[in-house]
Amino acid sequence: MLAWTIYISFLGAAAQMLLPRANARAARLTALLTTVAGFAIALAAWWRFKPGEILTVTRVPWVPSLGIEYHLAADGIGLTLVLLTGLVAIAGVLFSWNVELRPTEFFTFYLVLIGAVYGVFLSFDLFLFFVFYEIAIIPKYFLIAIWGSTRREYAAMKLALYSFAGSAMVLIGIIAAYVESGAKTMSLADLAQFPFPLHFQMWVFPLVFLGFAILAGLWPFHTWAPTGHAAAPTAASMLLAGVVMKLGAFGCLRVAMMLFPRGMGPWEFHVAGFGSWRGLFAVLALIGIVYGASVALVQKDFKFVIGYSSVSHMGFVLLGLMTLSQIGLDGAVVQMFSHGIIAGLLFAVVGRMVYDRTHTRVLSELGPMHLARAIPFAAFTFVVASMASIGLPGFSGFVAELEILIGTWRAYPLLAALAGVGILIGIAFTWRALDKAFLGDPAIAGASGSPLPPITAAERVGAGILMVSTVAVGLYPRLLLDLILPAFQSPLFDGLRRMWR
């Protein structure tokens, strides 16, 4: 049943190609229907999901002579992210309601991307995982290059090349692991039990981890993220920050850490103070947190503020992964979900509610427009998103960052303190953006242009869905924790659990 999240997205994409090319209305409705159906399937699966189980969806031989299977399954972590994808996908369609340029093509690429993302989260065969992971690259490129804004062709190509370079590294690791284990199976469950030699894990782990982490925005390989996010059309930024960056983080966890856990062990020597890949990546993640937040503090372009904030928040995910403790890993997965929702919300406000109406994203130009009065709903949404983003209690961000900080505190106390600094800077840049964009000085006369068009119903619904999700998880975190925590007890994570004892 859960496999239909993938199929229905691809079928929806195919249906888009059959629609009359100029009929935007039909295109949007089809897309909305498809994404809602996908989310409904995910919800139904979640309803029946028993915590801790691995729900096998489909398992058939694909290329028998090479041991490759078409194996879809869901554990709690995958399911969490499938739910996230469903939510963001619906919201993304609602915030693309005003796409009039080549609408059928837009939604074709959009739905192919969604289908591929579902596929990654549900794959339990390494080959299949990689197939879906790579399918996601091409639609991203076209979404940005055709429908984007600022330097779109450059940003799109940069994103595609970064992604492809990352996946090339991953491919090397995957092929090496496949051959090392005897070239008989690609099943994640079997490979997770295979005792790869220590020296092998020591070189494959960083390779695969970095390959995936590029897409998760790990400093210093994050530079695609701000330009890509800023250039992308609203829905694409929402997906990019909301789910595509999660693909990278998910790959780090599901492939790099799960299959090669001993690669995180100590090196037995020290280089520049680092004693293991784990320490190195933790520090890079921390730099990402602080650097992303600091740079966001001085941006003039509203969308770049959000773009850099994504780098900062994804740093938390990677830091959580590197704590190598149950609470830290759990926090990382919750943060993936939480950031997916919040980033979606922030980009929706900036890209759709503000930019599509004012046609500027420069903070100093937005101030005099008195947006809080002109489009109060946008201001309200942004305030909610900001509160969630800086991790106020009652929102999903709080649960996630708290868990990550506790995990980090146990593993690397110093880093935890510095991550706290990162959170403070996060509050500062969020407040600055809120202040400059929405709460302009009332003394300055507003631009006397035509009044901005009101917020449409589609936007209200889309924002509503995302706000409800973040508050729901914030108030009742067990919604996700009950899914995620037992997942770490499954045999898949045997090797990883041995690392954290």
Partner 1 sequence: MTPLSYFELLRLTLPEIIVAFAGLVALTIDLMLRQRPAAIRWRAGALAACAGCAAAIVLIVLRPEAANLYDSMLVVTPLTQLAQTVLAAFTILAVLLSVDSDFTAHVGEYLGLVLFATAAMMVLVSTQNLLVIFASLELLSLSLYVLTAFNKRSRQSAEAGLKYFLFGSMAAALFLFGISLLYGLSGSIELDGIAAAIHLQPLSPLLAVAIVMIVAGLGFKIAAAPFHLWAPDAYQGAPAPSAALIASSSKIASFVVLAVVMLVGLAGEEGSGAWRSYMAGWVPLIAVVAVLSMILGNLAAIVQSSVRRLLAYSAIGHAGYMLLGILSDSTQGLSALLYYVITYALATIGAFGILAALDKYKVDRAVDFAGFSRRAPWLSFCMLIFMLSLAGIPPLAGFFGKFYIFSTALLTGSGLLWLVILAIAMSAVSLYYYLRVLKVMYVRGSVDGSGQIKTSLLMNATVGLIALLVVLLGCFPAPLLHWIDGALRSMPH
Residue 63 lies near partner 1 (rule: CB under 8 A): yes
What would the two tokens of residue 262 be? 């001993």
Strands 55-63, 274-276: parallel, antiparallel or unpaired by DSSP? unpaired
- Of 357, 339, 369, the C-alpha closest to 437 is 369
| Residue 499 found at the interface with partner 1 (CB under 8 A) | no
CA-atom Rg of the chain in angstroms: 22
Site string for partner 1, 456-475 (x = CB under 8 A): --------------------
164 contacts partner 1 (rule: CB under 8 A): yes
Which residue among 14, 168, 298, 414 contacts partner 1 (CB under 8 A)? 168
Least separation in angstroms between CB 167 and partner 1? 8
173, 181 contact by CB (below 8 A): no
Part of the chain binding partner 1 (CB under 8 A), chosen from 44-52, 127-135, 286-294, 394-402: 127-135
Helix (H) or strand (E) holding 56: strand 55-63
Using CB under 8 A, which of the segments 63-71, 91-99, 248-256, 443-451 binds partner 1?
A: 63-71
- Indicate the SS3 state at residue 477: coil
- Residue 179 Cβ, how far from partner 1 at the closest point, in Å? 5
Interface of this chain with partner 1, residues 68 to 107, rule: CB under 8 A:
105
* C-beta closer to partner 1: residue 132 or 347: 132
Tokens of 463: 């924002």
Q: Site for partner 1 (CB under 8 A): how many residues?
A: 35
Q: Which of 26, 29, 57, 135 binds partner 1 (CB under 8 A)?
A: 135
In this structure, what token pair is assigned to residue 422? 């990162």
Name the segment binding partner 1 (CB under 8 A); options: 59-67, 220-228, 300-308, 351-359: 59-67
Cα 70 to Cα 119, 187, 194, 280, distances in angstroms: 11, 9, 20, 35
Which residue stretch of 71-79, 150-158, 215-223, 347-355 sits at the interface with partner 1 (rule: CB under 8 A)?
150-158
Q: How far is CA 155 from CA 149, 158, 226, 355, 462, in A?
A: 10, 5, 9, 18, 26
**Which member of 33, 57, 165, 427 binds partner 1 (CB under 8 A)?**
165
Beta carbon nearer to partner 1, 140 or 436: 140
Q: Which is nearer to partner 1, 53 or 190 (CB)?
A: 190
52: left (phi over 0), alpha (psi -120 to 50) or beta: left
Per DSSP, helices labelled H in 19-125 are 24-48, 76-95, 103-122
Q: 208: buried, middle or exposed (CB in 10 Å: 19+, 13-18, 0-12)? A: buried
In the set 11, 36, 57, 62, which binds partner 1 (CB under 8 A)? Answer: 62
Per CB under 8 A, the list member of 175, 439, 472, 499 interacting with partner 1 is 175
**The one among 1, 161, 444, 475 contacting partner 1 by CB under 8 A:** 161
| Helix, strand, coil percent content, the chain, rounded in steps of 5 | 75, 5, 20
Identify the DSSP state of 451.
P
Q: Of 22 and 198, which has the nearer Cβ to partner 1?
A: 22
Give yes or no for residue 142 binding partner 1 (CB under 8 A): yes
